Each structure stands twice: as C-alpha cells, then as structure tokens.
Amino acid sequence: MAVTVRNPTAEELPAVWEVLCGAFGEGPRERFRRQIWEDSTFALEQIRIAEVEGKIVSHVWVAERPVFYRGHAVLPMGGIGGVGTLPEYRGHGLATLLLQDAIAYMEGKGHAISMLFTGINPFYARLGWADFPEWRFRIKVRRVPTGDEMPPDYFVRPYEPDQDLPALQALYRQHIAALQLSLPHARPDTFWRDGHPQLLGLQPTHIVATGAGDIVAYACAVPTEHGLRLGEFAYAPTHPAALTALAVALARDAVADGKEGVISGVTPWLHPLPQTIAALTDGTLGHEVTEHMMLRVVNLRRCLEAVQPTMETSLRAMRADGLQGAFCFCLSQPEQAVTVTVVGGKVTVRDDDSAAVTLTVTPHQFCLLLFGAAPAPFWRHLLRDRLTDEQVALLSALFPPHPTVYWSGDHF
C-alpha cells in the first residue's frame, strides 16, 4: 500500500473534517469543526495526513500549546490530538507513521515537550510519551451556605466578555505565577474568544468582584445531571475571601433545581478552592489521580534551557547559592544526554555527557522530577543511584515540588 504523508491544503479541510468524523464517530463532529475553523492557534502545517490512492484516510494534529513552567518560564509544547484512521484502513501502521512525522515536525518547530490525552497509553509509550498524573476532585454538598455567608464587599455575577476579558486574562496569569503552576497553557489573548476552547469549557460562568468592581476570582462551571463540573478556576491570592465568595456561589448553584450538589473537576493538587468548598458545605473532599495525560521530552536541551532562569531563581530563593555540582541527564527514549552544571548560583546547560554524576532516566522519571511530582530525595529509590546528601539537596533546589494542571478548555 503506497502511502503519502503530507499537510492538507485549505480546500481539503472539509475532507479532513469528514475523516475525523469517520474515525471517531458523529459525537464530536462539532468539536472537530471548531478545532479546524474556530481555533486561532490552528495552522495547516500542524495537520499531518496520510493519503492512500488519492484518499485522505488518517490524521494527526500538532496543536501549538506553549505551557507555563512554575508560573513564569514558558516551555514550547506541541499537543497531539485527533489521532485517527478510517476503520477500513486500520492495522497498517498509519497512525504510527503520522506520529513519527509529527515528532519530526515538533523537533523542527523547536518544541521542548509534547502532550497528549489517551486511554491507550502503551500505544504512545512505544514512541516516547510517558504517563503523567492529573488530579481531580469531587465534593458532595451536605450543607447549603446561606446568603449571609457571602463575605462583605464581595459579590458574584455572570461573565460579561467585552467588559471582563482583559481583567480575566490578567488574573489567569497572576494566579499561575502566584501558585507557581506548571502546564497551564500560555494562551494568546485571541484564544479566549475562540469557539473551540469555549466548547471545551473556557466559558467563565462565575465572576467574583469587589465592591470597587475589581475582578478577583472566576470559575468555568458546566452544569451536570448531579451538580457542577469545573473546567477552570482562578483567584487573586491577595483576596483570600474571594475563594469563600466563589465557594458560596458554586455550592448554591450545585443544588439548584433539585440537583444532588456534586461539584467535581480538574485541580492543581491541594488547591485551596476545593478545600474551601468542602469546609463551607460540610462536604467530604475526595481526590482521584488519573494518568490519561502523557508527556514526551521532544528536546531535552531546549527543555532545560527554557527552565534555566527558573532554576537559578530557586537557588536564590532557597539560599542555596553555595551548592554546586553537575549532573548528566541521560534520557532513555528518545536517547539524549544533557549536562546541567551549577556553580556560584549560575546554571549552565550543554549537550554532552561529561558530568561525573550520570542520572539515567526514563521519560516518566524525568517528567516527574521536572514537574515537581517526584521530590529529589525519592530519586535514590527511583534511579538506584548513589547520590550524596549535597547532590540530593541540589536536585531539590533545582526541581522543587510544585503543582501542575492542564485546564479543560485548552485541550486539543
């Protein structure tokens, strides 16, 4: 079977849309339409198609999704979506062929990492993607807050896009920086108005404002049969009472129209909003960890160079300027070796394996360390390497634990 891998033309996009619907069914038809025609980050070069005898039969999208690292640095990221083949052409390796082409495309574009969401993790693990944990929460409202519990000088109102959007964009970035979050999308301003992310959940429903009119919190809540599902939320840490105001409004809406009062959603680990809702409603907070998200290190050097300033900031903040050393990170898939050297509070990154200490890591292990999910002391067990206390302290300063989240509206 002769296969041509290429980008579609603009005139072929309706055919691409039909291939996606043929591969995934009619359910997500509207999502695919908006993905192609209502996402300002979309470009023809991002679409990889397989053509057999003049017919488009398989598809992969590499979405442009740069993400924040610890609230400040930005990692160039390619999001893999729409990996699908028409049923009658499956079993011929077309999806694998397109994924390999997508990897080459991401390398050429300068992406540091890649992300995807799946229920068939082993299929993607062969090509270097690794499982990564996502936190979700669930609360059953047992006591409905009264209106008197709304903090004074705060009120909750609906979203008014033309009036509120600039303040929400600023609050989104402020929240990420204050909590040092990794993996939220570094959104272009135009993205907030796009139909594709709005369909996926980027639709603010609850705006918390002060008496002076300042917006200090928001949530994107989707009504469900049992209550509400949160796809995104943020608040100004200088206004902790805004969390209480938001929690009161969400709890009351979760029981509206006789619903059970279940509030659920994706969350950074230990974020104060779920804690506040639980405390306010006498509810029991439950957490679930899933690994449907997968990450791939596209270019190890670019990845570490992008976070280099953040590592130096960590050394200063922890007063660890006196720590020094060098580590060679040897990634098993795809094979890459990069040395990180720390001297006098300065971090350098170079393509070689010259360091005395070599840390041979799988993609899973490296992503857990980089994104704060596996504290450095545990590396003695994960890697079975003999690390001195000073080396562990240096790794801890360079890669401290911190929360991660990827919001619903940014999916691809």
Tally Cβ neighbours within 10 Å of residue 385.
15
Angle between helices 363-370 and 300-317 (to 10 degrees): 30
Task: List phi, psi (to 5°) of 142.
Answer: -105, -25
Task: List phi, psi (to 5°) of 51.
Answer: -115, 130
| 110 Cβ neighbours under 8 A, 6+ residues apart | 76, 299, 302
- Whole-angstrom distance, CA of residue 296 vs CA of residue 363: 7
Task: List phi, psi (to 5°) of 252.
Answer: -65, -40
- Whole-angstrom distance, CA of residue 267 vs CA of residue 273: 9
Q: What is the DSSP string of 197-214?
A: HHHHT----EEEEETT--
Which amino acid is located at 374 in the chain? A
Q: Are 157 and 207 in contact (CB under 8 A)?
A: yes
User: How close are the terminal C-alpha atoms of the chain, in Å?
Assistant: 30
Q: pLDDT tens digits for 272-291?
A: 999 999 999 999 999 999 99
Strand partners for 96: none
Q: Are 385 and 308 in contact (CB under 8 A)?
A: no
Q: How far is CA 288 from the centre of its chain?
A: 17
Q: How far is CA 47 from the centre of its chain?
A: 21
Integer Rg of the chain from CA: 23
Provide the residue-wise pLDDT of the chain in tens; the chain has 412 residues: 899 999 999 999 999 999 999 999 999 999 999 999 999 999 999 999 999 999 999 999 999 999 999 999 999 999 999 999 999 999 999 999 999 999 999 999 999 999 999 999 999 999 999 999 999 999 999 999 999 999 999 999 999 999 999 999 999 999 999 999 999 999 999 999 999 999 999 999 999 999 999 999 999 999 999 999 999 999 999 999 999 999 999 999 999 999 999 999 999 999 999 999 999 999 999 999 999 999 999 999 999 999 999 999 999 999 988 999 999 999 999 999 999 999 999 999 999 999 989 999 999 999 999 999 988 777 777 666 678 889 999 999 999 999 999 999 999 9
Instruction: Give the per-residue SS3 of 11-28.
Output: HHHHHHHHHHHHHHCCCC
**At 77, which helix (H) or strand (E)?**
strand 77-85
Q: Are 365 and 297 in contact (CB under 8 A)?
A: no
Measured over the CA atoms of residue 363, residue 369, residue 372 and residue 374, the dihedral's sign is: positive
3-state secondary structure of 142: coil
**DSSP 8-state code for residue 66:** -
Q: Which is it for strands 206-210 and 215-223: parallel, antiparallel or unpaired? A: antiparallel
- 0.85 exceeded by pTM: yes
Instruction: Give the per-residue SS3 of 236-281.
Output: CCCCCHHHHHHHHHHHHHHCHHHCCCEEEEECCCCCHHHHHHHHHH
Q: Which domains does the chain have, with CATH numbers?
A: 3-130 (3.40.630.30), 136-292 (3.40.630.30), 300-398 (3.30.1050.10)
Strand partners for 360: 330
- Whole-angstrom distance, CA of residue 327 vs CA of residue 370: 14
Tell me, what's the pLDDT at 271?
98
Tell me, what's the pLDDT at 384?
63
Q: Are 161 and 193 in contact (CB under 8 A)?
A: yes
| 209 Cβ neighbours under 8 A, 6+ residues apart | 154, 155, 156, 157, 215, 216
